[in-house]
Amino acid sequence: MAIGTAALGLILASGTAAQAAQTGKGKAYGGCTNSVTLWRKGATVYANAKMTCKKTGLILRPTVALSGNNGKTFKSNGKACRKAKTCTTPTVSVKATKGWTYRASNAGNATLAIAGVNDYFWPTSSVAHTTYKAKS
C-alpha cells in the first residue's frame, strides 16, 4: 500500500501527466494507409507518422506535420523507406501552450509500381489527421 501511495503522490506532484495518444488514419490508396499519432507529455506536444502497406512498396514516404494555433508553431519531418511494408517518421515536437489547438497530419505517398496508382499525387482522402486542444 505504501508503494501505491508513493506512486500516486509522485504523479500528483508532477502536475503535468502525459496525455493519451490520439491516432488518425486516412483512407487506403494502392493498398497503403497513412496514420498519424499525436500526444502530449509535460510541456511538449509530439507527433509522428506511419505508412503501412499490404504489399512491399518500392519507396514509402510518410511525412509528419505538426502545427499549433493555426500555424504559429510548426514542425515537419519525412522519411523514405525502400522495399518496405511499413515506414515511420522521426518524432517532431512543439511547446504546449494552454488553450491552443494542435493538429498533426500525414500526407505521405509511395512508389508502388502499380498501374493506375500515382506515385506522388495521392487523393486528399488518403491524408491522416488528428487534433488535440491543450487544457493546461
Q: Where are the beta strands (DSSP E) in 16-133?
A: 22-25, 32-41, 44-61, 63-68, 73-78, 81-88, 92-95, 101-106, 109-111, 128-133
- Of 31, 49, 21, 42, which is closest to residue 97 (Cα–Cα)? 42
Q: How far apart are CA 64 and CA 53, in angstroms?
A: 17
- The answer to whether residue 23 scores a pLDDT higher than 90 is yes
Tell me the pLDDT of the chain averaged across its residues.
88
pLDDT band at residue 33 using 50, 70 and 90 as cut-offs: very high
In this predicted structure, what is the pLDDT of residue 114?
86
Region of residue 58 (phi > 0: left; psi between -120 and 50: alpha; otherwise: beta):
alpha
Q: What percent of the chain has pLDDT over 90?
A: 76
pLDDT band at residue 20 using 50, 70 and 90 as cut-offs: confident
Q: How far apart are CA 96 and CA 80, in angstroms?
A: 28
In this predicted structure, what is the pLDDT of residue 8?
36
- Of 66, 3, 78, which is closest to residue 38 (Cα–Cα)? 66
Domain holding 51, by residue range, is 18-133
Residue with cell 509530439: 46
In a domain, residue 47? The reply is yes
pLDDT band at residue 6 using 50, 70 and 90 as cut-offs: very low
- The answer to whether residue 4 scores a pLDDT higher than 50 is no
In a domain, residue 4? The reply is no
In a domain, residue 7? The reply is no
- Of 110, 101, 108, which is closest to residue 124 (Cα–Cα)? 108
In a domain, residue 9? The reply is no
Instruction: Residue 60: give its domain's CATH number.
Output: 2.60.40
In a domain, residue 57? The reply is yes
- Find the mean pLDDT for residues 78-95: 98
Tally of domains within the chain: 1
- The answer to whether residue 50 scores a pLDDT higher than 60 is yes
In a domain, residue 13? The reply is no
In a domain, residue 11? The reply is no
Whole-structure pTM value: 0.83
In a domain, residue 1? The reply is no
